[in-house]
Amino acid sequence: MEAFQYRHELKFLCSESALYLMEDRVKCICRPDRHAGPEGAYVIRSLYFDTVDDDCLYENISGVNGRKKYRIRIYNNSRETIRLECKRSLGDRKAKETCLLTEEQCERLVRGADVRDVAEGQELLARFLAERSGRLLRPKVIVEYTRNPYVHSIGNVRITFDRDIFSSPEVERFLEKDISRRGILRPGEQLLEVKYDEVLPAAIREVLAGGRQLRRTSFSKYALCRVYGLR
């Protein structure tokens, strides 16, 4: 476990008005992430995998330490960049491994079919395929939201404002543009995340301390989308 590069990850639920206020303050000390493009935001869609017994879900709900989960991620409903990711959790610290997938590989993983060709640099894919077979991993839910990201050079800080978080059970349509979706939070409720290596700069701490409407949470988009879908 310790071989992975873990980062601290803090999560806060807040109202839309509080989120706008926090974003105005963050803009004064951070710069927009260059990956966000001219609009300053992008849409993230992730397809999460779990075992037939939903081990990842129940480990998340129970707060098991040293857990991990696999997902496939695309941006702005585009098939141009498709990533397979493994996210590990150790307390409030997270580590992420990633590798690129071809569109064909993604489609086969979504269908649960064999992936015959694993290229150099796709060690994560090879590991996932072994675990898929051994642990019976299957696609379970789609999570989609709009993200406004900001970065700060000191401490490798990344602050993200995640709005309009949706869940969809239509896992087989992951790469399609239009899928059925349902919001998972109360109207007007949004999510703020702060990620950093070891030290959180004082300016960022002051901004967070001034956010009186922020509510610290162990929020998991995956778990909430699954629990919502099981109702």
Mean pLDDT for 19-33 is 92
Residue 213 placed within a domain = yes
Averaged pLDDT of the chain: 91
Q: In this model, does residue 218 exceed pLDDT 80? A: no
List phi, psi (to 5°) of 137.
-70, 140
Residue 222 placed within a domain = yes
List phi, psi (to 5°) of 165.
-85, 120
Number of domains in the chain: 1
Q: What is the pLDDT of residue 188?
A: 86
Q: What is the pLDDT of residue 1?
A: 41
Domain that holds residue 65: 7-230
Residue 66 placed within a domain = yes
Residue 126 placed within a domain = yes
Residue 1 placed within a domain = no
Q: What is the pLDDT of residue 229?
A: 60
Residue 79 placed within a domain = yes
Neighbouring CB atoms inside 10 A of 72's CB total 23
pTM of the model: 0.92
Mean pLDDT for 1-5 is 65
List phi, psi (to 5°) of 226.
-70, -45
Query: pLDDT (tens digit, 9 = 90+) per residue, 83-135?
Result: 999 999 988 899 999 999 999 999 999 999 999 889 999 999 999 999 999 99
Q: In this model, does residue 231 exceed pLDDT 70? A: no
Highest mean pLDDT among 15-24, 44-53, 176-185: 44-53
**Residue 60's CATH number:** 3.20.100.30
Contact 166, 182 (CB under 8 A): yes
Residue 2 placed within a domain = no
